[in-house]
């Protein structure tokens, strides 16, 4: 309180357990008409996750994330099928003593489970180059520990995003970082800024905000490479760089964290804008 600062760390005990409601949504907005924006698609999935502290040492925590009770509201058949990949799955992670994410511990078991399920789906679904490509990409997302940590545990990475830091009230911090290239290839340069927004001493909750903006030229090159690969797989004409619309990718994060180190609520919005189209992915976790 002497300098209006907050240090975020996990003050957890062995066998502590909390349950969260997680909501993911994806939608596109036609922004070409500023007087009447039209939502062109909307996919929503909901699930619960039990977070349990299974081991606690002087310098680390081992934590289970158990996923269950999935609900999907979408017309995308592939999305409905892929839900089965995570139902009743446990991802075991390790953090340091402050709660900074370190690694996925059981990544080999996860890879084995995903491989088995994808193989089953591939046999059940009719042959289609586009669907085969999606299944292949899904396998790639779980092929190594690094791939899982970079591409497949967004909710976990969001949960621990502020842990380990010391933040001063209303003091904006700006840094240059690199973020994973989800299409494969080299990481993408990005600008990140974050701030401790409020300190609620009555309820022992602090609020944080973060903004991340990817380099637009590197993002364009990565997207072009991905679309070209997809076109080659589907044996259709690929795009040309001159035809590619300019892109802007920003991620906005709002998080409430209790003094115990448990997140009480967090929401992240990823926005990709091109000419006339805004694509949004939202991810939220709320303590039940």
pLDDT tens for each residue of 193-250: 999 999 999 999 999 999 999 998 888 887 777 777 767 766 677 767 776 667 788 9
How far is residue 103 from each of residues 91, 114, 209, measured CA to CA in Å? 11, 18, 24
Here the tokens at position 37 are 């924006």
Question: For residue 98, what are the β-bridge partners?
Answer: none
Find all residues with CB under 8 Å of 241, minimum gap 6, and list them: 224
Q: How far apart are CA 82 and CA 121, in angstroms?
A: 8
pLDDT (tens digit, 9 = 90+) per residue, 74-124?
Answer: 777 777 777 767 889 999 999 999 999 999 999 999 999 888 888 888 887
Residue 152 above 60 pLDDT? yes
Here the tokens at position 145 are 């520990």
Domain ranges of the chain: 5-287
Q: Are the beta carbons of 19 and 173 closer than 8 angstroms? A: no
pLDDT band at 34 (very low <50, low <70, confident <90, very high): low
Query: If we measure between CA atoms, which residue out of 102, 87, 89 comes closest to residue 55?
Result: 102
Here the tokens at position 271 are 């926005």
Here the tokens at position 277 are 């189209």
Q: Are the beta carbons of 88 and 69 closer than 8 angstroms? A: no
Instruction: Please state the three-class secondary structure of 64-113 as a single string.
Output: EEEEEEEEEECCCHHHHHHHHHCCCCEEEEEEECCCCEEEECCHHHHHHH
Residue 58 above 60 pLDDT? yes
Find all residues with CB under 8 Å of 59, minimum gap 6, and list them: 96, 97
Q: How many CA atoms lie within 13 A of 76 on its CB side?
A: 18
Q: How far apart are CA 176 and CA 213, in angstroms?
A: 10
Taking residue 99's Cβ as centre, other Cβ atoms within 10 Å add up to 23
pLDDT at 33: 65
pTM here is 0.87
The yes/no answer on whether domain 5-287 falls in CATH 2.30.230 is: yes
């Amino acid at each position: 309180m002497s300098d209006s600062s907050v240090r975020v760390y996990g003050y957890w005990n062995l066998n502590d357990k909390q349950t969260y409601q997680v909501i993911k949504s994806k939608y596109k907005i036609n922004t070409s008409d500023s007087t009447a924006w039209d939502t062109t698609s909307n996919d929503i999935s909901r699930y619960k996750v039990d977070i349990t502290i299974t081991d606690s040492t002087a310098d680390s925590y081992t934590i289970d994330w158990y996923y269950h009770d999935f609900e999907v509201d979408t017309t995308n058949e592939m999305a409905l099928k892929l839900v089965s990949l995570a139902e009743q799955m446990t991802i075991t992670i390790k953090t340091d003593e402050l709660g900074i994410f370190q690694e996925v511990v059981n990544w080999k078991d996860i890879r084995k489970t995903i491989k088995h399920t994808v193989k089953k789906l591939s046999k059940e679904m009719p042959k289609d180059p586009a669907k085969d490509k999606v299944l292949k990409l899904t396998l790639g997302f779980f092929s190594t520990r690094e791939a899982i940590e970079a591409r497949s545990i967004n909710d976990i990475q969001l949960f621990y995003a502020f842990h380990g830091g010391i933040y001063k009230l209303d003091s904006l911090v700006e840094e240059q970082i690199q973020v994973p290239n989800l299409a494969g290839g080299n990481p993408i340069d990005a600008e990140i800024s974050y701030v401790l927004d409020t300190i609620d001493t009555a309820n022992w909750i602090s609020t944080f905000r973060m903004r991340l903006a990817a380099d637009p030229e590197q993002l364009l090159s990565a997207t072009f490479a991905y679309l070209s690969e997809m076109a080659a797989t589907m044996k259709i004409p690929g795009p040309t760089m001159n035809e590619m619309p300019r892109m802007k990718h920003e991620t906005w994060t709002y998080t409430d964290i209790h003094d115990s180190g448990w997140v009480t609520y967090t929401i992240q919005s990823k926005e990709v804008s091109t000419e006339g189209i805004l694509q949004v992915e939202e991810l939220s976790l709320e303590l039940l």
